Amino acid sequence: MSLPVFGVWLTGGWEGDPGEVWCVPSESPGEALAWYRLNLPDLENKERGFLIPVVHPTARRNGIGRQLLRHAADRAAANGRTVLGSVAVQDSAGAAFAMAVGAKAGLVEARRLLDLRKVPAGEFARLRERAAAAATGYTVVSWAGPAPEEYLSLVAAAFNAMNDAPSDEGWEEEIWDADRVRDRASRLVRLAGVRGYSVAALHDATGELAALTQVEVDPGRPDWGYQGLTAVTRPHRGHRLGLLAKATMMEWLTTAEPQVERVVTGNAASNQHMIAVNETLGYELYPPGWQFCEIPVKPAVRAVPAEGMTDTAAIDALADSSGGQSGGPTTAASNLSRAADNPGQLRRGAAGRWLLVDTGAAIAHLPAAHLGDTGCQRRQAGVLLRARRPFIRAERRHHHCVRHAAAGGTWT
């Protein structure tokens, strides 16, 4: 994931939702031991938060993950939230941590990969023509970038169609209208320089937008395409519009972005219809998938460090091992510091001090930060971002990660 994409997400989530970013700086200049972003939905699901916690691999198994969870739960409670949701790579250390602290496993999302280098020439055109034969009375339209003004209300209807996609219980449906699409959709395209492509099928008789699929290409990772939303509205299902839109999209993408070699997508493992469409296009299972989970805020507040180690001892031991000052830092709960107290600069401190990142300018003031264990490395404005490629674009909305499922690096 490129730094501009990470910056847009860090400062406002995928849709501009309110949130908080907290980090634990390391003794080593320009490194973070741990951090999290707490997403605080402000339109629906106002009783819920969505947490993305990350602990540096060298700092794990020292109680810091539990401190992150407890601190985030405190912040969630302060914002009136009663449940925390998150997501982890299946069968990972993060997934094990989530279960260890009492989180409840939820929906499983399977990833699939389309290797465009293996697709025979003309295959997407053939699939498009086959689908079009079953879709008489519909016209295909497309656009690059954010939705044109004349399509905003139609796109909103497609977004609303995602509300009957598989999801965990207890989540309110998101209600989209033209203003919300204009203001909150396509944030990466509008703010991070990501190139977005949309293909839609319009119903000739009514003018309704019957199907929509979206793909994005990050200039920082130009050989990858990220499948976004794919939706067919209920009155128009059964006409192969999903295949029509997606085959048209792939045919277009191979021309508009010839350097793209792979396209990645994700679906609820129970969404057999969309899985069948993807497999027709040539997608193959790309494990591991993502495991969604949630935990009530009150139990999360009571999360404790590993057996035999107090919060202070865990952090002190880590600081001592990395050359910390004598005496060691204090616990997170008793040593809070806000970047807003020092405008224009991320306040630095000893390991274990919690710093609230000013999300209005977070990426501008974050030092070179080691934020994960594997994946992309990008330099921009002197900042090195090392992340575990923590985000994929998904073909369903779930837990307020609309069309994007936050993944690697969570619950670690």
- Per mean pLDDT, which of 256-260, 294-298, 310-314 is the most reliable? 256-260
**At residue 207, does pLDDT exceed 70?**
yes
Confidence of residue 202 (pLDDT cuts 50, 70, 90): very high
Q: What is the mean predicted confidence (pLDDT) over 294-318?
A: 59
- Of 385 and 222, the one with more pLDDT: 222
> What distance in Å separates the CA atoms of residue 12 and residue 362, rounded to the nearest whole number?
10
Q: What is the mean predicted confidence (pLDDT) over 308-337?
A: 34
386, 5, 391, 63: which is closest to 189 by C-alpha? Answer: 5
- What are 324-359's pLDDT values in tens digits? 322 222 233 223 333 333 322 323 333 445 555 544
Cα–Cα distances (Å) from 131 to 141, 204, 294, in that order, read 15, 17, 39
> What distance in Å separates the CA atoms of residue 366 and residue 164, rounded to the nearest whole number?
39
The helix/strand/coil state of 176 is: coil
Residue 331 near residue 68, CB atoms below 8 Å: no
- What are 25-75's pLDDT values in tens digits? 877 777 788 899 999 999 999 999 999 999 988 888 888 899 899 999 999
> What distance in Å separates the CA atoms of residue 217 and residue 157, rounded to the nearest whole number?
24
Query: If phi over 0 gives left and psi between -120 and 50 gives alpha, with beta otherwise, what is residue 94?
Result: alpha
| Percent residues over pLDDT 70 in the chain | 73
Residue 144 near residue 190, CB atoms below 8 Å: no
Structure tokens at 344: 């224009």
In this prediction, residue 301 carries a pLDDT of: 80
The CATH architecture annotation of domain 3-109+292-406 reads 3-Layer(aba) Sandwich (3.40)
> What distance in Å separates the CA atoms of residue 353 and residue 315, rounded to the nearest whole number?
9
- What are 124-139's pLDDT values in tens digits? 999 999 999 999 999 9
Q: Which pTM value belongs to this model?
A: 0.78
Q: What is the mean predicted confidence (pLDDT) over 357-381?
A: 34
Angle, in degrees to the nearest 10, between helices 123-132 and 241-256: 150
**At residue 298, does pLDDT exceed 50?**
yes
Residue 181 near residue 159, CB atoms below 8 Å: yes
What does the mean pLDDT of the chain come to? 78
In this prediction, residue 248 carries a pLDDT of: 98
In this prediction, residue 370 carries a pLDDT of: 32
Q: What is the mean predicted confidence (pLDDT) over 222-248?
A: 97
In this prediction, residue 43 carries a pLDDT of: 95
Peptide linkage before 288 cis (omega within 30 of 0): yes
- What are 90-100's pLDDT values in tens digits? 999 889 999 99
> What distance in Å separates the CA atoms of residue 312 and residue 323, rounded to the nearest whole number?
16
In this prediction, residue 403 carries a pLDDT of: 31
52, 72, 30, 20: which is closest to 332 by C-alpha? Answer: 72
Per the listing, tokens 């939706």 go with: 231
In this prediction, residue 324 carries a pLDDT of: 32
- Per mean pLDDT, which of 3-17, 111-125, 352-366, 379-393 is the most reliable? 111-125
- Check if 3-109+292-406 and 111-287 are the same fold: yes
**At residue 253, does pLDDT exceed 90?**
yes
Confidence of residue 401 (pLDDT cuts 50, 70, 90): very low
Sorted by where each begins, the domain ranges of the chain are 3-109+292-406, 111-287
Q: Does CATH place domain 111-287 in 3.40.630.30?
A: yes
Question: From the CB of residue 397, how many other CB atoms can be counted at a distance below 10 Å?
Answer: 23
Decide: residue 308, CB within 10 A, 0-12 exposed, 13-18 middle, 19+ buried: exposed
In this prediction, residue 395 carries a pLDDT of: 38
Q: What is the mean predicted confidence (pLDDT) over 8-19?
A: 89
The per-residue b/e assignment along 383-394, b for 16 or more CB within 10 angstroms, e otherwise, is bbbbbbbbbbbb
**At residue 11, does pLDDT exceed 50?**
yes
In this prediction, residue 355 carries a pLDDT of: 59
Per the listing, tokens 């070699």 go with: 261
- The residues, ordered by sequence, that sit 6+ positions from 365 with a Cβ below 8 Å of its Cβ are 339, 344, 345, 346, 357, 358
| Percent residues over pLDDT 90 in the chain | 58
- What are 349-358's pLDDT values in tens digits? 334 455 555 4
**At residue 225, does pLDDT exceed 50?**
yes
Confidence of residue 169 (pLDDT cuts 50, 70, 90): confident
